[in-house]
Amino acid sequence: MPFNETVIGLTQYSVNAYASTATTIVPGTAVKLDTLPVGIKADEIFFKVSVASPTDVFFGVVGLNKNLTDKSTQRVVMANAALMPVLLNAAGTKYDYFKVKTADGKFEKAVTGETSDVQLMESAMKGELCWARPMRVKI
């Protein structure tokens, strides 16, 4: 089934954020939280995030509107969302458990002994966006 980006509204589950470093992060990429909003000046009222690796705490994924950079804000869908778009590094089928497994924040199938980050809600191929629900389950 092709990815349909209008299947759910993500506004209530997302926050505005900047990238912490001079990098471009594409939609569906897993991110970790670096800094909470701390002040009232221009860039201090936004979350600051960076690409999540397998050892980081999964905060959410970059929203669908545009790429996330250190120069412009983008919505980040937090890990408490009902559904979230995830970028796959390996093909998966509906109801497979996936976790962040690459240094560039992409998701791969969780294997025995690992704790998943999301459960796929549709089948997708490598490199595609896929709807998933956050689900931490020990496999």
Please enumerate in sequence order all residues whose Cβ is within 8 A of that of 15, keeping only pairs 6 or more positions apart, or say none.
46, 47, 75, 76, 78
pTM for this model (two decimals):
0.90
The CA distance from 86 to 94, in Å, is 13
Angle, CA 78 vertex, CA 73 and CA 113 arms, to 5°: 130
Instruction: Give tens-digit pLDDT for 37-90.
Output: 988 887 789 999 999 999 999 899 999 888 999 998 899 999 999 899 999 999
Q: Please report, rounded to a whole number, the percentage of residues in the chain having pLDDT higher than 70.
A: 99
According to the model, what pLDDT value does residue 40 have? Answer: 86
